[in-house]
Amino acid sequence: MSESGSDGGKWLDAHYDPVAGLYTFSSCVDLADLSGDGESRLVVGDLGCGSYSMKLKVYRGTVLMSESTLLDLPAGLVAFFMDLHEPRIPAVAVASGPCIYVYKNLRPYFKFTLPGLEVNTLEQDVWQQVKEGQIDPLTLKEMLEGIRKKANIPLSVRSTRFLSLETSDMDAFVQLHNQQPIRRQTVITCIGTLKKSTADEDGVSCLVIGTESCDVYVLDPEAFIILSKMLLPAAPITMDVTGQFDVEFRITVACRNGNIYVLRRESDKPKYCIELSSHPVGLVRVGKNVVVGCTDESLQGFTQKGKKLWRIILPAPVITMAAMDLPTRGFQGVLVGLANCEVQLYRDKNLLSTFKTPNVVTSICFGRYGREDGTLIMTTKGGGLMMKILKRTAVFDDRDSAPGPPLAQSVRLNVPKKTKLYVDQTLRERENGLTMHRAFQMDLSRLRLATAKAYVKALESSLTPMSSSLSEPIKMNAVVQGLGPSFKLTLNIQNTAACRPIMNLAISFLYDESLYRMRNPYMRIPLLVPGLIYPVETFVECTSDKGISDIIKVFILHEGQSSPLLTAHINMPVSEGLMLS
Amino acid sequence: MEVAMDPLFLAWSYFRRRKLQQCSDICTKILQDNPYDQAAWSLKTRALTEMVYIDEVEVDQEGIAEMMLDESFIAQVARPGTSLRLPGTSQGGGPSPAVRPMTQSGRPITGFVRPSTQSGRPGTMEQAIKTPRTASTARPVTSASGRFTRLGTASMLTNPDGPFINLSRLNLAKYSQKPNLSRTLFEYIFHHENDVKNVSVALYLQQKELVNITLQDFDCCNKNVLFHQALDLAAQATEHAQFRDWWWKVQLGKCYYRLGLYREAEKQFQSALNHQEVVDTYLYLAKVYQRLDQPVTALNLFKQGLDHFPGEVTLLTGIARIHEEMNNISSATEYYKDVLKQDNTHVEAIACIGSSHFYTDQPEIALRFYRRLLQMGVYNCQLYNNLGLCCFYAQQYDMTLSSFERALALVANDEEQADVWYNIGHVAVGIGELTLAYQCFKLALAFNNDHAEAYNNLAVLELRKGRIEQSKAYLQTAASLCPHMYEPHFNLSILCETIGDLQSSYTAAQKSEDAFPEHVDTQQLLKQLRQHFAVL
């Protein structure tokens, strides 16, 4: 591939460890100078196996420098400056569940918990009564179910858990939990940082948190109080924040209802709304524009005010996205990790470069790592860690992405030549058109008659494997399995009516009794529900060792009627079991 | 006074006129008078053999056991163009499945039905032992049991008072030393009694270098007793075995082939070829290679044979058949044309070229070939059926329906009748007579309950009438009968899509894609469905 060759010239393969055991997403990866020595570290919130061994990992160069256990699955991770102390060392905030754990110098520093949500008063009363022993768990269950149906404030986690329990486990659950007060909490879905008052690289930043309860909070970095609370129409998935809190800011949030909302300083309601045609996977801001990757394998560009600029189709579904920002060269682009093990780099809608990866990339992070400005860090689906360095000589130039007419246009179709024979025949057709037409019409009438006769005969003797009567539309097909002398006969019977079941049917067989023996030559069919295939099985034994086979006729009969509804002829295979022995 | 003809001469004369039963009767009489008359014994043996003789070169049917328990192939996943196992691997040159239909077992239809045109390997054991194992498409368990036994049973039934030669009491060693008797005896045992094991015992006596044949081959034949007998006698036979005889080597190879010892068979045939170049030996050896799934080697062998016997029809036909089985129809047609240059009444070649022209959009030329067959005296249902279709597609309407009428008058069994009705149904669809088409497809199903194509077409007609449930049921049946056909899957997918069941539509479309990956409509449908799933 010429493209990969050219991109081999743009990236240096710095490090690849396919068994690094890093399972994470782009939102849990960040680069920061954690020790203030001018060397950037890689901070990763590792999801581990999903239920245990969640870790906060820090890499320096190619080695794992430190590792500390996380209590819950990380939803997002950011490095930010929380004070003005020297040396300038950023803190790391890990969002998991309803809490934010702040680490400073890689040691736990502070835990912030989101304020609880409003609890249904009825629910509270009920639990209070349980605590006082006024009602038993079964009554509690009934009451909670009533509340769940009617109330507009949803139940707490404890109540929903209780409702899902078996009756035997209820008592123990109530005993365990009735002393604690009821709380209703939400969880964090995404996290970002917002500069407080200065736009400096090392200015103090606020944390911006999106929650499952459709709220966006801005937290003060020193006191950890909520500076601002904004409400969204849906739960946020991923967000991008720009500006300063004290001056003017803009929070672009992609939400679970497939819309993107833009929040601004003045109002606590979204200012603009972008309605997408499918669910967003990733959102990246490039300059003043927003680039969104969607599940319909497309990449779309919008202005800050929600005007659509462009849309391109990608070769495979998007897995992850990240911004590639290289201020020293004034380059801004979007990296897109695709499901076909490719990573593509776009500037606006132009594809600049593509490179293959050994596995599907699940997270991408581009920035300063160590002392190198242009480092690309990726983790793969199998837990691998990959680092590439952008060459200083690499130049990305826009290629003209609008090709000419499609290639298929110039392919000649293989149309067979008209043979001389064909021309002769058309001449004959032209000359004798009338007689040919008459002959054909006459033959057709005769054939219609012959077909109708044969058809009526088939209908009268119910020869067809599907019943034509309107009251009992049934279809059957038979399958014979086995090598002999014992065969298994499976009759697949299906009721093809739209909604009416069929009852009172029976199966009987007609066969040469000197050749075959059948275990049960008369069977009753259960009620046939429309649309389902009912397999009816029986065993046939071939009693002859002469290598002869015969036809077995199957009849489906309606009780009380002598003529069959339908008939199937089974050509039995030759029995070979006796010959082999 | 009437002079009676010498009975042995009369018997010989009957034999030459192929009145085999009379010949055998006279020999029986002679043998009653003189049980030690070797000439009569030999003649009777030959007559009985001829009665059930089948050309060993032509009969090749892979049984279930050979197919499923095969260990002789080299590559599990063969490269395209080097294997007969994948019926779908076409290297261009043939029309796509959209044009050329498949047989019930999933090979593209050829112009001429041979045992191997039915094949196409089933993927699983389940598929192998399932119907359509009806009488027409059944596979035997092994090639050693199936057809041979079936053909052999004819002789079993006609001899109620026991077999002519009691093999177990035969002193094979004695006979092996009499070259004038041993060959007829061998053929009798091989063809009439179908007892490969005994035959091989006879052969061991002939071939001294083969005494140390592996023991387990015989264990599997449950003929240990005979084998020990053979071992004892082999020592005696070696003294008499002056055999550097190609004929015996070929026979030994045939026995190995029947026993499934292909590598040994290959050795024997090759050594026979070193002694004497015979066309038959080339054909047998090619058969071995085909069974070992080495079509390219077989092709080379045929070409080597053609160097020695230029223009030999059987060799050319062999090449053409291999090309055809590898789905390379255009080169197969070239070789069939070569065959016709040598032998212009070769039915198989004419039929195959005809069908190839029909499926490459030149029905008027196909018509020519089929008419030639008619002139040659081939007079059967299938031919008229093909003529009718060719006439219809070449726009010679006056002859179309009359051909079908004749075909209907000539049908020999229900399957043929079903096929003719199915084709009439096609013509009816072509002229817009949907009621007639409906009746025809139903008739096709009445005569052959496993006609998947008819089910499929009937489903489309039902759908046009708006009976969705029926249509769906028919399509599901068609798909279960012939999972390798893409049409029912595709139609089911379209049906489900129109009624809004996108999930079923998607799974059906995926199956259709598996059956026919290049089908553009399926691809478009899949794309559309994927878009549908992605959109909010």
pLDDT per residue as tens digits for the range A454-501 = 999 988 877 777 776 777 788 888 888 877 788 888 888 888 887 888
- The interaxial angle of helices B246-259 and B262-275, nearest 10 deg, is 170
Nearest to B141 among A436, A571, A580 (CB): A580
The pair of structure tokens assigned to A146 is 């009533």
Nearest to B394 among A297, A425, A477 (CB): A425
* Contact indicator for B486, B456 with CB cutoff of 8 Å: no
Strand, coil or helix: A247? coil
Q: How many CB pairs under 8 A join A and B?
A: 169
**Residue B133 to chain A, least CA–CA distance (Å):** 6
pLDDT-based confidence at residue B228 (cuts at 50, 70, 90) = very low
Strand, coil or helix: A352? strand
The pair of structure tokens assigned to A448 is 């219609």
Residues of A in contact with B436 (CB under 8 A): 447-448, 451
Q: Which pLDDT score is estimated for B196?
A: 55
Q: What is the distance between the alpha carbons of residues B298 and B295, in angstroms, rounded to a whole number? A: 5
Q: What is the distance between the alpha carbons of residues A87 and B261, in angstroms, rounded to a whole number? A: 83
Percentage above 70 pLDDT, chain A: 95
Q: Which pLDDT score is estimated for B132?
A: 42
Q: Which pLDDT score is estimated for A218?
A: 92
Strand, coil or helix: A44? strand
Mean pLDDT lowest among A438-447, A561-570, B398-407: A561-570
* Contact indicator for A189, A210 with CB cutoff of 8 Å: yes
Mean pLDDT of A184-205: 88
CA-angle at B227, arms to B226 and B233, nearest 5°: 90
The pair of structure tokens assigned to B219 is 């264990």
Pairing of strands A259-264, A289-294: unpaired
**Residue A578 to chain B, least CA–CA distance (Å):** 10
pLDDT at A579 > cutoff 80: no
Percentage above 90 pLDDT, chain A: 31
Q: In what order do the strands lie in the sheet with A11-17?
A: A11-17, A385-390, A372-380, A361-369
Report all structural domains of chain A as residue ranges with CATH numbers, in order of start: 2-116+186-390 (2.130.10.10), 121-177 (no CATH), 474-580 (2.60.40.10)
Cβ distance of A576 and B141 shorter than 8 Å? yes
**Residue B106 to chain A, least CA–CA distance (Å):** 18
Q: In the beta sheet, which residues pair with residue A244?
A: A195, A248
Q: Which of A116, A109, A123 is nearest to A80 (CA)?
A: A109
Q: Which pLDDT score is estimated for B63?
A: 64
Instruction: Give the residue, B178 or A109, on which the prediction is more confident.
Output: A109
The pair of structure tokens assigned to B249 is 């080597």
Q: Which pLDDT score is estimated for B94?
A: 55
Q: Which pLDDT score is estimated for A254?
A: 94
Nearest to B368 among A416, A421, A452 (CB): A421
pLDDT at B219 > cutoff 50: no
Number of residues assigned to chain B: 536
Cβ distance of A475 and B473 shorter than 8 Å? yes
Cβ distance of B134 and A573 shorter than 8 Å? yes
Q: Which pLDDT score is estimated for A563?
A: 82
* Contact indicator for A344, A396 with CB cutoff of 8 Å: no
Q: Which pLDDT score is estimated for A138?
A: 83
Cβ distance of B469 and A435 shorter than 8 Å? no
* Contact indicator for B444, B422 with CB cutoff of 8 Å: yes
Mean pLDDT of B372-385: 90
Q: In the beta sheet, which residues pair with residue B335?
A: none
> Mutating which of A296, A299, A451, A461 best tests the B interface, going by the most B Cβ atoms within 10 A?
A451
pLDDT at B215 > cutoff 70: no
Nearest CA in chain B to A530: B469
Nearest to B405 among A447, A463, A531 (CB): A447
Nearest CA in chain A to B392: A440
Q: Which pLDDT score is estimated for B127?
A: 58
Cβ distance of A546 and B131 shorter than 8 Å? no
Report all structural domains of chain B as residue ranges with CATH numbers, in order of start: 1-51 (no CATH), 142-156+170-293 (1.25.40), 450-536 (1.25.40.10)
Q: Which of B118, B132, B461, B238 is nearest to A572 (CA)?
A: B132
Q: Which of A269, A265, A213, A207 is nearest to A239 (CA)?
A: A207
Q: For chain B, how big is the Rg over CA atoms in Å?
A: 27
**Considering the entire predicted model, what is its pTM?**
0.72
Cβ distance of A447 and B445 shorter than 8 Å? no
Nearest to B135 among A295, A446, A573 (CB): A573
- Tell me the pLDDT of chain A averaged across its residues: 86
Mean pLDDT of A197-221: 89
Q: In the beta sheet, which residues pair with residue A15?
A: A387
Highest-pLDDT range among A327-336, A461-470, B50-59: A327-336
Burial A11-44 (b: 16+ CB within 10 A, else e): bbebbbeeebbbbbbbbbbbbbbbbeeeebbbbb
Q: Which amino acid is residue A456, in one-letter code?
A: V
Q: Which pLDDT score is estimated for A53?
A: 83
Nearest to A458 among B431, B446, B481 (CB): B446
* Contact indicator for A476, A465 with CB cutoff of 8 Å: yes
Q: What is the distance between the alpha carbons of residues A476 and A555, in angstroms, rounded to a whole number? A: 10
pLDDT at A253 > cutoff 90: yes
pLDDT-based confidence at residue B214 (cuts at 50, 70, 90) = very low
Cβ distance of B442 and A458 shorter than 8 Å? yes
pLDDT-based confidence at residue B191 (cuts at 50, 70, 90) = confident
Q: What is the distance between the alpha carbons of residues A442 and A432, in angstroms, rounded to a whole number? A: 16
pLDDT at B220 > cutoff 70: no
**Residue A504 to chain B, least CA–CA distance (Å):** 21
Find where tokens 């768990």 sit: A137
Cβ distance of B133 and A448 shorter than 8 Å? no
Q: What is the distance between the alpha carbons of residues B475 and A109, in angstroms, rounded to a whole number? A: 66
* Contact indicator for A365, A26 with CB cutoff of 8 Å: yes
- The interaxial angle of helices B279-291 and B262-275, nearest 10 deg, is 160
Q: Which pLDDT score is estimated for A102?
A: 92
pLDDT per residue as tens digits for the range A384-442 = 999 999 988 888 776 655 556 666 777 887 776 778 888 888 898 889 889 999 999 99
Q: What is the distance between the alpha carbons of residues B159 and B165, in angstroms, rounded to a whole number? A: 11
Handedness of CA A58, A64, A70, A76 (dihedral sign): positive
Q: In the beta sheet, which residues pair with residue A101?
A: A94, A111
Cβ distance of A416 and B360 shorter than 8 Å? yes
Pairing of strands A259-264, A280-286: unpaired
Q: What is the distance between the alpha carbons of residues B518 and B89, in angstroms, rounded to a whole number? A: 12
B531: Cβ contacts below 8 Å, ≥ 6 apart: A296
Q: Which pLDDT score is estimated for B71?
A: 63
Q: Which pLDDT score is estimated for B117?
A: 52
> Mutating which of B469, B471, B481, B492 best tests the A interface, going by the most A Cβ atoms within 10 A?
B469
Cβ distance of B365 and A421 shorter than 8 Å? yes
Mean pLDDT lowest among A114-118, A536-540, B364-368: A114-118
The pair of structure tokens assigned to B493 is 């997918």
Q: What is the distance between the alpha carbons of residues B144 and B66, in angstroms, rounded to a whole number? A: 10
Q: Which pLDDT score is estimated for B217?
A: 36
Cβ distance of B473 and A496 shorter than 8 Å? yes
Dihedrals phi, psi of A331, to nearest 5 degrees = -110, 130
Cβ distance of B477 and A576 shorter than 8 Å? no
pLDDT-based confidence at residue B211 (cuts at 50, 70, 90) = very low
Q: What is the distance between the alpha carbons of residues A229 and A244, in angstroms, rounded to a whole number? A: 16
Element (DSSP H or E) covering residue B307: helix B295-308
CA-angle at A192, arms to A189 and A197, nearest 5°: 145
Q: Which pLDDT score is estimated for A4?
A: 43
Q: What is the distance between the alpha carbons of residues B217 and B222, in angstroms, rounded to a whole number? A: 9
Q: Which of B139, B155, B1, B168 is nearest to B68 (CA)?
A: B139
Cβ distance of A454 and B443 shorter than 8 Å? yes
pLDDT-based confidence at residue A124 (cuts at 50, 70, 90) = confident
Handedness of CA A55, A61, A65, A66 (dihedral sign): negative
Find where tokens 């690849």 sit: A16
Instruction: Give the residue, B176 or A4, on which the prediction is more confident.
Output: B176
Highest-pLDDT range among A82-91, A194-203, B504-513: B504-513
Nearest CA in chain B to A488: B130
